[in-house]
Structure 1
Amino acid sequence: MPASASVPHDDFGREEFSWQLPAEGITIRIRWFGLCVGYVLVNLLGPVQNRVELNAILTLGAVYALLDTIWSLRGQVFLRAAPLFISLMEAVFIGVLCHFDRGLESPFRFYYFLSLLTCAIRYAPSITYITFVLHATSFGTLALSHGVDTSEELTALVMMVIFMGWVTWASTALVTLLKTASFKLSDLNTELQNNQAQLERRIAERTRELQESQALLVQQEKQAAFGLLAAGIAHEVGNPLAAISSLVQMMNRRELDDYMHEKLGLIDEQLRRIQRTLHELVDFSRPATNDVAICDIHEVLDNALNIAKYYKRKKGKTIVTSYADGLSRVEIVRDRILQVFLNLILNAMDATGEGGTIEIHTSQQDDVLRIAVCDDGVGIDPDYRARLFQPYFTTKATGTGLGLFVCRNILQESGGDIELTGTSSSGTTFTVSLPAFDAAPSEERTTATTSAHDG
């Protein structure tokens, strides 16, 4: 921005151009008003002499006003970089009009006031005061060319210059006040918009937190209902199984042939297997404890795999575990981390086709344990990846959309996290990270182990 068009106040320099565009509308209206009045004075109310010259001069002014109007409609300021040139041009324009009309007594002398007013609106106070000097010089030159012969003419000259100075001061003071008020209102409006945006962000954040809390509550209620159902089933099935097992053992103690003893032994073995399954079901469905314990992460993984083997989609799939040696223990709520691993394993089973493989790897980097669950399914659609951990988002026909969301919340409460570390048409990998509790390796896992669990 040219220095001549700037104003001393910092706010003015910051928003001068935004002020000039609306100010242009005012100055253009003032210009066209003055031109219309001038045409009326020359052609209807004024003297006959010099009418052609006056109309020609007014037409030049109309051409300039037209160009100014066109630039304004384009959102620009005509000759914005040359304000003093415009002031000089207007001083000459008004002086020539007065010269061809009635000199110092010409009504066109009041154009000086309109010019000073428009200059104060459009430009900085310094430009307005320079314009006053140019107009005073123009009017003084006009007085010299026509002569100042009487004291009345001298008084009129002096009073005209005084009034031009007063209009300059009054208009600049008023415009400065208006600009200050305008910029303060603009700042207040900006602050109001910022506060509104901040309020909307807080409302959106609170709404999201409420939705997440509701989702967690729904999941907890479902787990509690499942626990009660599992306990009831185990009780109803366990009593008849205990009776059948007792009868089998009693019959096996009798003197029977070897074939019957073999078959009774097989029956008893299958009954014990059913009882172990019921015990595992009851252990998993019991109310979760929130007690923090120091655990071996491999033991928690094995427990999750032991539960997952009963999943209907486990059949025909291989689970390969690759446990790193010397892992630190972790301080966790065991049941909740078990829920995380079980959910990831079940998801991997759902994503893997018949004959597929699921791999579980553990490692430690500095003070962070990493557990990767990989499948060789078809991967995750790129459009879904950003929404995986949102509540109620699922790609399964019968899914609740709460599994990964709950996993993330559980891990973050434990100081860990979960992320999608790889997905393609050949498979998907989710990686869980947990902070290590100590640097001592787990006593139960001192060497790297690799095992496979076939369905």
Structure 2
Amino acid sequence: MRRSIRQQILVPLVVIQTVALAAITAAGVGLAARRSEQQSVDRLGAVIDVLSRSSFPLTSRVLAQMHGLSGAHFVVKDAEGRTTAASDPEVGDQAVDAASISVLGRPEFRSWRDWPKLSVAGRTYFGAAIPAPASGGAGASTLLVLYPESSWRDALWDFALAPVVLGIVALALMVLASRWFADRISRRVHRLRAQVARIAEGEFSELELGAGHDEIQDLTRSVNQMSAQLRDMRLTIVRSERTHLLAQLAAGFAHQLRNTLTGARLGIQLHLKRCPAAGGDSSLGVALRQLALTEEQVQGLLTLGRLERRPPRACDLGELIRDLESLLEPTFQHARVALESYVPHEPVTAEIDEPSVRAAILNLAWNAIDAAGPGGRVQFHLIDGGEQTIIEVADSGQGPPADLEPALFDPFVTGKPEGVGLGLALARHVAEAHRGELDWSRRDGWTWFRLTLPRTPDLDGKGISE
């Protein structure tokens, strides 16, 4: 049987509060009634004591005054059982024979429940019979004391009414407060449940924490953290799927294209051997350099697709960058972009997969050339960072569009109409494969891409080759 949070909170609280208030009220009423009863019994005992020791005749007028003081009726019976005086004539005429009530002298009962009960004129009384004082030479007589049970019950109710009413009011207030508290908790729990349901449906929005600083707010904060983590995980999965698809397409295309480029390059080299170029004619040399650049691009696509895996080996990064500068020199000249290189003369070595790092730097350089534009500048920086090496490629261009900044390294994201959006994705893939990182920043009017590589990376945990 399903029970809501509100029921689980409200029902036990109401039951506990009801039992506690009932016990407190009953105890209060019992004590008050006991005290009232004791007072009335003591008061009647004092009246009886006065009457039993009186030296004046017990007339109906005297007994009526005693009735006003104690609330009890008094009847005097002579030895023959005739009524000689009574506080109330109607009660005196119908009073029972004194012999039916024990003669105890002065009664020592401490509670009305200890007194005998009898019925007179259809009403119930607590009764006692004591010897009446002799007066005027009269014979022995008996004084009947009759206390109405209804007076005792009325006194009990008078004492119980206020505690009972206060107890009911207090219980109602506690029930309302408990219900408000339970409803408040229930609403917040239902709000969390709805949020979890939205997360299960793929909506990873976050809830406001609210004003209550309690465990539910902590739970809300945890749900928000879970939502943010799931959102990031979904984004990572989407990117991974896109990268995987890109890798398959690019690798298949690059594998076929590399064979074609190799054939073209071998054909040109064979032609140069058979027919050397005339003096000053460098057109075939330029063609070979362009083919080499294209092969570097294809090699990067193959690395992205992981169709070729190679073990890392020690490489002088300064020499690698200088070689790329020589390879890219015609491209810089054609684009009218100035190249500035800050590479140390001493070797800066690191264990890397050289072709993939070469492809990453090459893609960063091409992006920098396009961003700088005619008349712009591009800088290469190689920094020896001890346990890691840092390669920076900076351009003096305007920087990437603001709307592309969050997804700048995602595949197929580009701000160029003719761009494909694979260069930065490939470069980051290479950095991550080397357990390094690639980030970018905008400062002093320049756009900086920083490729950080460990000196001795564990490529993919096992090295490039499998």
Q: TM-score, normalization: structure 2? A: 0.50
**Alignment partner of 1:434 is 2:456:** no
CA shift, 1:224, in A, is 4.3
AA of the residue aligned to 2:244: L
Correspondence 1:331 to 2:359: no
Question: Which residue pairs with 1:205 in the alignment?
Answer: 232
Q: Considering only CA atoms, is the larger Rg found in Structure 1 or Structure 2? A: 2
Q: What amino acid is aligned across from residue 403 of structure 1 in structure 2?
A: G
SS at match of 1:228: helix
Q: C-alpha separation between the residues in 1 aligned to 2:243 and 2:341?
A: 30
Work out which of the residue numbers 217, 221, 235 in structure 1 matches 2:263: 235
Contact kept? 2:318, 2:345, Cα under 8 Å: no
**Residue of structure 2 in register with 1:157 after alignment:** 158
Counterparts of residues 46-195 of structure 1 (less than 5 Å): 150-164=151-165, 166-167=167-168, 170-171=171-172, 174=175, 178=179, 181-182=182-183, 185=186, 188-189=189-190, 192=193, 193=195, 194=220
Q: CA deviation at 1:436?
A: 2.9
Q: Deviations over 1:341-387 (max 9, x none)?
A: 11110011001232332111112234332222122223445555444
Contact 1:231–1:282, Cα closer than 8 Å, also in 2: no
Q: CA deviation at 1:298?
A: 1.8
**What is the match of residue 370 of structure 1?**
390
Asked if the contact 2:401–2:415 (Cα under 8 Å) also holds between the matched residues in 1, the reply is: no
Equivalent in the alignment of 2:241: 214
Decide which structure has greater helix share. 1
Please say if residues 340 and 407 of structure 1, whose CA atoms lie closer than 8 Å, have aligned partners that are also in contact: yes
Query: Structure 1, unaligned stretches of length 5 or more?
Result: 1-18, 20-116, 141-146, 250-262, 439-455
**AA matched with 2:168:** V
Paired position in structure 2 for 1:87:
none
Give 3-state SS (helix, strand or coil) of 1:348's partner.
helix
What do residues 149-197 of structure 1 show as CA deviations (whole Å, max 9, x unaligned)?
Answer: 7445313202314533653675477567646755764674476444764
Tell me the amino acid that sits aligned with residue 160 of structure 1: L
Contact 1:380 1:423 in 2 (8 A): no
Give the direction of change, closer, same or farther, for the CA distance of 1:169–1:416 in structure 2 (3 Å limit): same
Unmatched tracts of structure 2, length 5 or more: 1-9, 37-68, 72-150, 196-219, 458-466
Q: SS in structure 2 opposite 1:337?
A: helix
Letter in 2 for 1:434: L
What secondary structure is seen at the aligned counterpart in 2 of 1:396? coil
In the alignment, the residues of structure 2 paired with residue 386 and residue 356 of structure 1 have an alpha-carbon distance, to the nearest angstrom, of: 25
Match of 2:298 in 1: 285
Instruction: Report the alpha carbon displacement of residue 434 of structure 1 after superposing the two structures with TM.
Output: 2.1
Q: How much does 1:236 deviate?
A: 4.6
Structure-2 separation of matches of 1:416 and 1:299: 20
CA distance in 2, matches of 1:272, 1:159: 116
Contact 2:383–2:391, Cα closer than 8 Å, also in 1: yes
CA distance in 2: counterparts of 1:397 and 1:354, whole angstroms: 18
Q: 1:79 maps to what in 2?
A: none
Q: Which amino acid aligns with 1:228?
A: Q
- Flag the 1:418–1:366 CA change in 2: closer, same or farther, 3 A: same
1:295 aligns with 2:315: yes
Higher relative contact order (CA 8 A, sep 6+): 1
The code of the aligned residue for 1:157 comes to D
Q: Would the aligned equivalents of 1:391 and 1:402 in 2 still touch at CA under 8 Å? A: yes
Q: Distance in 2 between matches of 1:174 and 1:226?
A: 76
Q: Distance in 1 between matches of 2:328 and 2:290?
A: 12
| Residue 225 (1) aligns with residue 253 (2) | yes
Letter of the 2:240 counterpart = S
In structure 2, the residue matched to 1:356 is 376
Residue aligned with 2:373, SS: coil
Mapped partners of 1:162, 1:175: distance in 2: 20
Q: 1:363 to 1:243 in 2, by over 3 A?
A: closer
The offset of 1:430, in angstroms, is 1.9
TM-fit CA distance, 1:280: 5.7
Checking the alignment, whether the CA contact within 8 Å between 2:428 and 2:438 is kept in structure 1 is yes
Deviation at 1:340, TM superposition (A): 1.8
1:148 and 1:333 mapped to 2: Cα distance? 114
Distance 1:158 1:180, change over 3 A: same
Letter in 2 for 1:207: R
Contact residue 313 and residue 350 of structure 1 kept, 8 A: no
Can you list the C-alpha shifts for 1:87-121, whole angstroms capped at 9, x where unaligned? xxxxxxxxxxxxxxxxxxxxxxxxxxxxxx9xx99
**CA distance, structure 2, for counterparts of residue 236 and residue 327 of structure 1:** 35
Letter in 2 for 1:285: V
Is the CA contact 1:361–1:372 (under 8 Å) kept in the aligned structure 2? yes
Change beyond 3 A, Cα 1:189–1:314: farther
* Contact kept in structure 2, 1:238 and 1:278, CA below 8 Å: no
Deviation at 1:209, TM superposition (A): 1.6
**Alpha-carbon distance in structure 2 between the residues aligned to 1:177 and 1:364:** 68
Identity of matched residues, %: 17
Structure 1 length normalisation: TM-score? 0.51
Give 1:205's aligned amino acid: D
The answer to whether residue 347 in structure 2 is matched with residue 320 in structure 1 is: no
- 2-structure distance, mates of 1:218, 1:312: 33
Q: 1:377 to 1:368 in 2, by over 3 A?
A: same
Cα distance in 2, alignment partners of residues 421 and 314 from structure 1: 27
